[in-house]
Structure 1
Amino acid sequence: MPPRGQVPPRRPEPTQVIRRDGRPQQNRPPQNTPPQNQAWSQAPAQPNRNEWAPTQQPQQFRGTPPPQQRRQAPPPPPRRTPPNQPPPRPQQARPQPPKPRRRRNWGRRIGITALVLLLAFVGAIFYVDNSLNRIDALPDYAGRVADTPGTNWLIVGSDSRDGLTPEQEQELATGGDTGPKRTDTIMLVHVPKSGKTTMVSIPRDSYVPIPGEGSNKINAAFAWGGAPLLVQTVEQATGLRIDHYAEIGFSGFAGIVDAVGGVNVCLQSPIDDPLAGINLPAGCQDLAGKDALGFVRTRATAMADLDRMNNQRQFMSALLSKATSPTTFLNPFRLWSLVTDAAKSLQVDKSDHIWNLASLAWALRGGMTTTTVPVGGFDYVDGAGDVLLWDKARASAFFDALANDQQIPADLITVG
């Protein structure tokens, strides 16, 4: 501190330096001021404004600039709920309008259903057709009868026991094995181009010429040569060309009757035949398979074989009427059982099919003419036994009418 009465020396003002950003910078004077007598003290009294400025010259930046950072806006403050007010309800989704209902294409559905049913029906037909037992029944021999108008079927009921167990043979009263296969039923069915169908019974004891065997009972031809020899014998005896053949045995016949639910027949008198296994009262009644088989086989009546042929035609007509009735066709289970049982039970010619059998059943469904060959009498022949003789003149006119596809004259029809 200076002595009292002296004015203190004036402090030098700080030198102002202009910074690069343009703002003044106050700098303090140096603490250690060099003495006045030093050489460098002769520097200018005024400070250089650039004394404190950097001496480096600005140069262009050649590096990669750092990425600019964007300033993110601060998150909005939470929404405050005023006091004494319920919190806002969550917004419910707006109900969507109902979608328009798609119109059902009933025509297309019906068409698809009909196509499926048709394919199933066709498949069932071919399945049943393949189930038929086919044999070479229609022979091709020299001098065979020429083709005749209309359609002729030969239907044979044999005593074949194929497929039957001993218990079934006892139940059906078949009598066990009796040697070569024989026939108790021979029917000739003529289906004309127009008009009624004719069913003709040929007695099994008919005495006729058998090709290569001489004359004998007609059922001997079946025992000796089977279906081919029987067909040839019938063609030469009648003058009619056989177009189709069908044969059924004991078990097959009973199965078909059971498949349709039994057949109703009317008896004028009771029949008691232990050999056929039946004891039937008079009157109308439904016969199941076992009783039906005994009914068409029995000869325990006044006219023996003639009554049996009448019973066979009566029962065959009733069976076919039942098989083609609405009660059978409208019941798919009964119809399927009937068709499959018939296909497995029948033996047909190799050229026959299920639709041929259906055509036959339709032709025999009712309104047909049933008769037998005109009979001339009975006789006994050595080597053949008791035989039945045809009335040659009447039988010739009888079969000529069928060969010409005409109805049989009323005076030649035998009413059974």
Structure 2
Amino acid sequence: MNSQRPMPPDPRRPRGGPRFEAPTRRVPESGPDAGYRPPLAWSQEPEQRPRHRSPAPLPAAEPPVPLRRDTRHAAPGGYAPRQEPQPVPADRRRAASRPPQDAPPRRRSDRSATPPVPPKRGHRSTPPAPKPRKRRRLRLGRILLVVLLVLVIAPIAMLFYFDGKLHRVDALSSYPGRVADTPGTNWLIVGTDSREGLSAEQKKNLATGDADGARTDTIMMAHLPLSGKPMLISIPRDMYVPIPGMGSHKINSAFNNGGPKLLVQTVEQFTGVRIDHYAEIGFGGFDSVVDAVGGVTMCLDQPLRDPKAGLRLPAGCQKLNGAQALGLVRTRAFPNADLERVVNQRKFLSALMSRATSPSVLLNPFRLFPFVSGAVDAVTVDNGDHLWNLAWLALKLRGDPITTTAPADGDQYTDDGDSLIPGDTTKRFFDYIARSEAVPNDLLSANTGSVS
């Protein structure tokens, strides 16, 4: 228990006054201690004031309040002596600041070892936060970048996808005595009557008949010279030429008996021109290619009627759908028969390439993708050819190429029937093509067909 007795309340202190007041000291008015003020312990000092200032005198009306002291730690005599800090001698300060001899050396921290370098004038240690307008620009830039990547990557991915679906055949394989490379780029384009992939209803609507297999009645060479306009050359199917291993026959017999490989070898040896690419177009899918681009506009100089080809067209300019276009390139209902048909085929092929590469098709995915899909189903190429090779050919033929028919020195009746006999004119013509030089006008045929 605490042996200190509680002090009775002071009757002179007002009841409504402050609860705590600064303690006061009683100064003896008479005796040997008159004027002496005993110091208090540090823990009992109410406020430390500078030593040069004297405490403010207490009001006379207020009697001093006796100070309650903690006598447990008081010194004998009733008060604790005042303790003040004394200055430490300099030699002791130096001795205290020195580390012991056996103590390990103190290591400076990284922060004290490398003082911070003050930043340069005008330089901020942290980048300022982007402004709202700048953030909007950055967000818009990211969106545009994503859209651009989609527009670039998607066509490339679709290109490789459709390229993998192309029908391919070994048409340009090497053989002994093959013609050496010739300047320019040369395509052999073959149209066949293959009905593969057509249903019975499609065969009836397109008037293709029910014959099996594949025979060719359309042979064209596309010559892309090093300079100048490209050429589209028709080789009549009745041209009587030597066929390796078969003797002399009409040139279409090479395809009918030996396929694309024998036809390419026959054309190369007959013309002296190296074939670089091969493309074959059948009945199946031809009409869908034309319909995918929205039809092809052709101008007819005369009405065409051919029940065998399912063709019934009036004269004048008109847009042909797939079935009508197929009938136009097949019909031989002309006075010159096959010679006039090849003219119509060249004009239609040039018009189709121009339509397929127009902005209305290339920039319209609802036309572009069906066209590419239909072309993939209808076209067969060599093992080394790709879809981008076909696209390059279409761009070259979209303008106004020179179209002509390979000349012959007359016709003759042979074991294969009425045939066209090649001669010196034919050799001169293909010599210009083999050298990639412009063909003189006297070797070019007049494009007198029913299509203008």
Q: TM-score, normalised by structure 2?
A: 0.68
Partners of 1:250 and 1:111 in 2: how far apart?
Answer: 43
Q: Secondary structure at the match of 2:426?
A: helix
User: Does residue 188 of structure 1 match 2:221?
Assistant: yes
More strand by share: 1
Q: 1:325 aligns with which of 351, 355, 358?
A: 358
**Which residue matches 2:210?**
176
User: Does residue 261 of structure 1 match 2:294?
Assistant: yes
**Which residue matches 1:84?**
none
Q: 1:387 aligns with which of 413, 419, 443?
A: 419
Q: Secondary structure at the match of 2:219?
A: strand
Alpha carbons 2:191, 2:217 under 8 Å: kept: yes
1:254-333 matched pairs, under 5 angstroms: 254-333=287-366
**Which residue matches 1:231?**
264
How big is the alpha-carbon RMSD for the aligned residues of Structure 1 and Structure 2? Answer: 1.7
- One-letter code aligned to 2:437: Q
1:365 deviation in Å?
0.8
- One-letter code aligned to 1:346: V
Alpha carbons 1:197, 1:364 under 8 Å: kept: yes
**Which residue matches 2:99?**
none
Show CA shifts across 1:251-286 (max 9, x none): 222121111111111111111110011111111111
Alpha carbons 1:221, 1:229 under 8 Å: kept: yes
Q: TM-score, normalised by structure 1?
A: 0.74
- Structure 1's consecutive aligned runs of 4 or more residues displaced over 6 angstroms after TM superposition are 20-23
1:192 deviation in Å?
1.1
1:19-58 matched pairs, under 5 angstroms: none
Alpha carbons 2:409, 2:424 under 8 Å: kept: no
5+ residue gaps, structure 2: 7-130, 448-452
1:343 deviation in Å?
1.5
User: Does residue 218 of structure 1 match 2:251?
Assistant: yes
**Which residue matches 2:428?**
397
1:21 deviation in Å?
9.3
Partners of 1:173 and 1:386 in 2: how far apart?
Answer: 26
1:100 deviation in Å?
5.3
1:104 deviation in Å?
3.3
Show CA shifts across 1:42-72 (max 9, x none): xxxxxxxxxxxxxxxxxxxxxxxxxxxxxxx
* Structure 1 residues 209 and 107: CA distance shift in structure 2, 3 A: same
Partners of 1:342 and 1:310 in 2: how far apart?
Answer: 22
**Which residue matches 1:76?**
none
Alpha carbons 1:139, 1:231 under 8 Å: kept: no
Q: 2:235 aligns with which of 176, 180, 202?
A: 202
Alpha carbons 1:374, 1:412 under 8 Å: kept: yes
1:22 deviation in Å?
8.5
1:103 deviation in Å?
2.7
Alpha carbons 2:297, 2:319 under 8 Å: kept: yes
Partners of 1:201 and 1:271 in 2: how far apart?
Answer: 22
Alpha carbons 1:239, 1:403 under 8 Å: kept: yes
5+ residue gaps, structure 1: 1-19, 24-98
Q: 2:192 aligns with which of 158, 180, 203?
A: 158
1:127-142 matched pairs, under 5 angstroms: 127-142=161-176
Partners of 2:5 and 2:297 in 1: how far apart?
Answer: 134
* Structure 1 residues 100 and 190: CA distance shift in structure 2, 3 A: closer
Instruction: Say how many residue pairs are matched.
Output: 319
- One-letter code aligned to 1:332: P
Partners of 1:129 and 1:380 in 2: how far apart?
Answer: 45
Show CA shifts across 1:284-328 (max 9, x none): 111111111111111111110111011101111111111111221
Partners of 2:317 and 2:428 in 1: how far apart?
Answer: 36
- One-letter code aligned to 2:206: L
- One-letter code aligned to 2:438: Q
- One-letter code aligned to 1:342: A
1:226 deviation in Å?
0.4
Alpha carbons 2:284, 2:377 under 8 Å: kept: no
1:194 deviation in Å?
1.7
1:28-107 matched pairs, under 5 angstroms: 102-105=135-138, 106-107=140-141
Partners of 1:187 and 1:218 in 2: how far apart?
Answer: 12
**Which residue matches 1:415?**
446
Partners of 1:364 and 1:412 in 2: how far apart?
Answer: 21
Alpha carbons 1:299, 1:307 under 8 Å: kept: yes
Alpha carbons 1:209, 1:233 under 8 Å: kept: yes
Partners of 1:395 and 1:376 in 2: how far apart?
Answer: 7
Q: Secondary structure at the match of 1:163?
A: coil
**Which residue matches 1:350?**
383
Partners of 1:211 and 1:303 in 2: how far apart?
Answer: 29
Partners of 1:103 and 1:141 in 2: how far apart?
Answer: 65
Partners of 1:218 and 1:290 in 2: how far apart?
Answer: 28
- One-letter code aligned to 1:388: L
User: Does residue 108 of structure 1 match 2:142?
Assistant: yes
Alpha carbons 1:245, 1:349 under 8 Å: kept: yes
Alpha carbons 2:283, 2:378 under 8 Å: kept: no
